């Protein structure tokens, strides 16, 4: 299949482009490089040993999308492009609703007008909010607690309503838990702008000496060691989930929702210790107050994806932290500095 990947120069986007190409598909990338780097696409071309056509632009720009659809026969779209920082979404909600909701609506309408009827949407476990229990199933109550999570849920609802009305559109909603790790080449990886919001890139930057110490947000949660527990999933497993979703559900009208997680909960301190062990670098940390909005524990049940898509996560914690270190140690300043 020929797939348009919006946000394809980003962390999950680059890994998914590689997985698609290695599965025999072809990709076209659309990215505005607001939270990614053109060098990342060059690395994808090096890894895949083939050119990756790309367009610089916004995923919500109808004219750009129409042009791409006129130049390429596209079978489906994977939509990664969007804003994704929880804290920033609280400060700038209208930016998040414009970038995530309005843009997605424009994409869906433009796709449909061009006869492209398969969409894979990058959603998030954040739509569950503070879960009633764990593991989390797809039919759990949805209760996002910030504009980022609410924007993701709004797009899910737009997709479901459009699929219902269209009768010919396949909307595949993938709810990611916590993506981490990197491609085993060490050529691509997570390279957030500025101070990392997320745990893994922050730990990686401490290990490589770019940052002094990690602040552990909360040590009084009702968990085994008092720190937050999450379902960390290797980004290559996540990428594989997108390929399987497209190959299974392309041309199957309706909306389909899947959790993509490992089903295992890992605490902050377990992650710190695993990283220090794999990198053989100290990861100094300090226990500080909880971060507002954080939940104690969140991990997935992904049986639905296993049953319908034949997908399950295969990489273990050591693979997650060692692949992250391979990327970070080879690219201390991300794509600005890599070899
Ligand atoms: C994980 C754990 C923190 C940083 C968010 C979004 C989710 C997805 C992933 C986009 C928590 C603790 C973190 C730090 C810490 N984003 N932590 N010190 O909050 O589970 O999920 O990012 O798709 O949608 O909601 O991920 O990595 O920020 O936090 O102690 O410097 O690490 O308290 O327990 P989170 P995270």
Q: By CB neighbour count within 10 A (0-12 exposed, 13-18 middle, 19+ buried), where does 61 fall?
A: middle
Nearest alpha carbon to residue 260 among 321, 230, 305, 295: 305
C-alpha of residue 218 to centroid of ligand 1, in Å = 12
CA–CA distance, 57 with 332 (Å, rounded to integer): 28
Calculate Rg over the CA atoms of the chain. Answer: 19
Q: pTM higher than 0.85, yes or no?
A: yes
Q: What is the pLDDT of residue 339?
A: 40
Distances (CA, A) of 191 to 14, 18, 127: 12, 17, 24
CA–CA distance, 129 with 146 (Å, rounded to integer): 9
Helix/strand/coil for 260: strand
Catalytic residue among 128, 148, 299, 335: 148
The full set of domain ranges for the chain reads 2-180+232-261+299-313
Question: In sequence order, which ranges of 29-141 are alpha helices (DSSP H)?
Answer: 38-48, 62-71, 86-91, 93-96, 103-113
Residues 6 or more apart in contact with residue 150 via CB below 8 angstroms: 144
Nearest alpha carbon to residue 315 among 236, 197, 199: 236
Domain 2-180+232-261+299-313, what architecture?
A: 3-Layer(aba) Sandwich (3.40)
> Side-chain half-sphere of 234: how many Cα atoms within 13 Å?
19
**Looking at ligand 1, which residue's alpha carbon is closest to its atom 28?**
198
Catalytic site includes residue 176: no
- Confidence band, pLDDT 50/70/90 cuts, at residue 336: confident
Flag whether pLDDT at 12 surpasses 70. yes
Q: What is the pLDDT of residue 241?
A: 98
**Looking at ligand 1, which residue's alpha carbon is closest to its atom 7?**
126
Question: pLDDT by residue (tens digit) across 163-174?
Answer: 999 999 999 999
The pocket around ligand 1, CB under 6 angstroms, is made up of 84, 86, 124, 126, 176, 178, 197-199, 202, 214-218, 228, 230, 268, 291, 294
Residue pair 238/12 in contact by the 8 Å Cβ criterion: yes
**Looking at ligand 1, which residue's alpha carbon is closest to its atom 17?**
199
Beta bridge pairs of residue 179: 233
Q: What is the pLDDT of residue 337?
A: 63
Flag whether pLDDT at 338 surpasses 60. no
Question: pLDDT by residue (tens digit) across 78-120?
Answer: 999 999 999 999 999 999 999 999 999 999 999 999 999 999 9
What DSSP character marks residue 156?
A: H
CA–CA distance, 200 with 179 (Å, rounded to integer): 9
Question: pLDDT by residue (tens digit) across 114-144?
Answer: 999 999 999 999 999 999 999 999 999 999 9
C-alpha of residue 254 to centroid of ligand 1, in Å = 32
C-alpha of residue 198 to centroid of ligand 1, in Å = 5
Which sign does the torsion angle of CA 18, 160, 301, 279 carry?
Answer: positive
Residue pair 256/249 in contact by the 8 Å Cβ criterion: yes
Tell me the CA end-to-end span of the chain in Å, nearest whole number: 32
- What is the best residue among 203, 229, 268 to mutate for testing ligand 1's pocket, by most ligand atoms within 8 Å of CB? 268
Nearest alpha carbon to residue 317 among 259, 269, 278: 278
Residue pair 177/261 in contact by the 8 Å Cβ criterion: yes
C-alpha of residue 129 to centroid of ligand 1, in Å = 13
Helix/strand/coil for 261: coil
Q: What is the pLDDT of residue 71?
A: 98
Looking only at the bridges linking them, the beta strands covering 76-79 and 254-260 are unpaired
**Looking at ligand 1, which residue's alpha carbon is closest to its atom 21?**
178
Looking only at the bridges linking them, the beta strands covering 254-260 and 170-176 are parallel
């Amino acid at each position: 299949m020929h797939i348009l990947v919006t946000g394809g120069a980003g962390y999950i986007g680059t890994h998914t482009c590689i997985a698609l190409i290695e599965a025999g598909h072809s990709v076209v990338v659309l990215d505005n490089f607001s939270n990614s780097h053109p060098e990342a696409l060059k690395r994808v071309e090096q890894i895949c040993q083939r050119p990756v056509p790309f367009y610089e632009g916004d995923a919500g720009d109808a004219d750009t999308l129409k042009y791409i659809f006129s130049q390429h026969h596209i079978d489906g779209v994977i939509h990664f492009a969007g804003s994704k920082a929880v804290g920033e979404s609280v400060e700038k909600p209208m930016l998040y609703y414009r970038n995530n909701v309005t843009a997605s609506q424009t994409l869906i309408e433009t796709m449909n007008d061009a006869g492209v009827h398969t969409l894979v949407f990058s959603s998030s476990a954040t739509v569950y909010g503070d879960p009633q229990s764990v593991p989390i199933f797809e039919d759990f109550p949805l209760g996002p607690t910030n504009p980022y999570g609410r924007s993701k849920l709004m797009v899910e609802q737009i997709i479901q309503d459009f699929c219902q009305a269209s009768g010919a559109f396949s909307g595949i909603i993938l709810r990611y838990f916590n993506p981490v790790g990197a491609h085993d080449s060490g050529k691509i990886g997570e390279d957030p702008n500025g101070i990392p919001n997320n745990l893994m890139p922050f730990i990686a930057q401490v290990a490589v000496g770019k940052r002094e110490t990690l602040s552990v947000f909360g040590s009084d949660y009702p968990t085994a060691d008092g720190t937050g527990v999450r379902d960390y999933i290797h980004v290559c497993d996540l990428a594989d989930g997108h390929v399987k979703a497209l190959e299974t559900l392309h041309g199957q009208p309706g909306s389909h929702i899947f959790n993509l997680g490992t089903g295992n909960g890992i605490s902050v301190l377990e992650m710190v210790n695993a990283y220090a062990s794999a990198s053989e670098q100290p990861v100094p940390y300090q226990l500080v107050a909880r971060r507002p909005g954080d939940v104690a524990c969140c991990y997935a049940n992904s049986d639905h994806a296993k049953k319908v898509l034949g997908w399950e996560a295969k990489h273990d914690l050591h693979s997650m932290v060692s692949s992250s270190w391979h990327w970070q140690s080879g690219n201390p300043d991300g794509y600005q500095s890599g070899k």
